[in-house]
């Protein structure tokens, strides 16, 4: 552990992230303890509840190991390779019972947090399933991943989901890191645009599209072509491919303005959720 004049100067997780990771893992585990039907299909997915929970347990373990500085190969950073790695990992892991998976989801989330509590969190850049990132952004990734699959499990089991405005705010560091890596080059080809994305009651950031690539900036552009104001939960569900933009527009979850507002419908299609 690094210290200066006897004072601990190890890195700290962003405010609220530790509690959000712990509480989200606990709420997902609670979903699985309510006599969950592990063979029930997850809406919009090829997986059953048991398969989705098994994937979540495995992913939490992977991220805990990465945070502790234990390298793990898992795809090449592209959405396609990540999907293939997920299927291989599931095929090699036979556990589908609710209680063991619930315990593993919580235990491995705590293992990620323990790496920070003990000062063992890896320094510098880590190689993750979606490319290089720091250990604190990995925590945002862990939370985002749990919220996405927790939402799926809640829908499948007929229970309320755990996504709220505060937790969405904590997913933004990961989303800003991941967006350029999950850009669909075919959809971005030929488009030149500057977007400001605003979360209602929260933050904002800029996205520039040029030459088939996307650049994300924590600060919005000075003269955006299109500004998209989104309700936070809607924003995350769209980013994770769980809700379509037309459904969101119909519910009043999106407001658009700017010099080229017609660019708004193209924005969600620029990205391919892994």
- Give the pair of three-digit tokens for residue 234: 């809607």
207 pairs with which residues across the strands?
195, 216
Number of H helices, E strands in the chain: 9, 9
Q: Is 42 inside any structural domain? A: yes
Is the same domain home to 137 and 202?
A: no
Rounded to an integer, what distance in angstroms lies between the CA atom of residue 105 and that of residue 162?
15
Residue-level pLDDT at 7: 32
Is the same domain home to 153 and 77?
A: yes
* Strand duo 213-217 + 125-128: pairing: unpaired
Q: Is 174 inside any structural domain? A: no
Is the same domain home to 127 and 157?
A: yes
Residue-level pLDDT at 3: 33
Q: Is 237 inside any structural domain? A: yes
At what angle are helices 49-67 and 79-91 packed, to 10 degrees?
110
Residue-level pLDDT at 247: 66
Which CATH number is 257's domain given? 3.30.1050.10
Is the same domain home to 119 and 18?
A: yes
pTM: 0.92
Is the same domain home to 74 and 207?
A: no
Which residue range(s) make up the domain with 151? 12-167
Question: Of 121, 138, 167, which closes a domain?
Answer: 167
Q: Is 271 left (phi over 0), alpha (psi -120 to 50) or beta?
A: beta
Domain count, the chain: 2
Residue with tokens 């000075």: 222
Q: Is 177 inside any structural domain? A: no
Q: Is 173 inside any structural domain? A: no
Segment holding 7, helix H or strand E? strand 7-8
Which CATH number is 159's domain given? 1.20.120.450
Rounded to an integer, what distance in angstroms lies between the CA atom of residue 53 and that of residue 105?
8
Is the same domain home to 188 and 156?
A: no
Is the same domain home to 104 and 205?
A: no
| Beta strand spans in 110-154 (E) | 125-128, 131-134
Q: How many CA atoms lie within 13 A of 265 on its CB side?
A: 4
Question: Of 136, 167, 198, which closes a domain?
Answer: 167
Is the same domain home to 126 and 238?
A: no
Residue-level pLDDT at 74: 87
Is the same domain home to 109 and 134?
A: yes
CB 220: neighbour CB atoms within 10 A?
Answer: 18
Is the same domain home to 231 and 153?
A: no
Q: Is 62 inside any structural domain? A: yes
Q: Is 3 inside any structural domain? A: no
Taking the chain (274 residues) in runs of 10, the rounded mean pLDDT of each run is 35 89 98 90 95 98 93 83 92 96 98 87 86 92 98 96 96 95 92 96 93 93 96 93 73 86 92 81
Is the same domain home to 121 and 223?
A: no
Phi, psi of 46 (to 5 degrees): -85, -10
Q: Is 6 inside any structural domain? A: no
Is the same domain home to 226 and 151?
A: no
């Amino acid at each position: 552990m690094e210290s200066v004049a006897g004072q601990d100067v190890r890195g700290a997780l962003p405010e609220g992230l530790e509690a959000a990771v712990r509480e989200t893992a606990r709420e997902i585990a609670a979903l699985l303890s309510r006599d969950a039907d592990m063979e029930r299909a997850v809406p919009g997915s090829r997986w059953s509840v048991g398969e989705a929970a098994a994937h979540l347990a495995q992913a939490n373990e992977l991220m805990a190991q990465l945070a502790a500085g234990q390298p793990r190969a898992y795809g090449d950073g592209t959405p396609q390779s990540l999907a293939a790695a997920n299927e291989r990992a599931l095929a090699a892991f036979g556990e589908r019972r609710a209680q063991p998976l619930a315990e593993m989801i919580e235990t491995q989330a705590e293992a990620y947090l323990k790496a920070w509590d003990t000062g063992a969190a890896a320094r510098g850049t880590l190689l993750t399933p979606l490319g290089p990132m720091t250990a604190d952004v990995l925590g945002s990734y862990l939370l985002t991943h749990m919220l996405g699959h927790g939402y799926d499990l809640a829908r499948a089991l007929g229970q309320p989901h755990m996504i709220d405005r505060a937790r969405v705010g904590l997913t933004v560091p990961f989303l800003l890191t991941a967006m350029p890596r999950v850009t669909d080059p075919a959809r971005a080809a030929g488009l030149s645009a500057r977007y400001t994305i605003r979360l209602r009651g929260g933050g904002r950031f800029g996205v520039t599209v040029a030459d088939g690539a996307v650049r994300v900036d924590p600060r919005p552009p000075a003269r955006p072509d299109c500004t998209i104001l989104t309700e936070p939960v809607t924003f995350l569900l769209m980013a994770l491919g769980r809700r379509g933009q037309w459904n969101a527009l119909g519910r009043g979850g999106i407001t658009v303005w700017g010099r080229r507002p017609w660019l708004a419908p193209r924005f969600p299609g620029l990205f391919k959720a892994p």
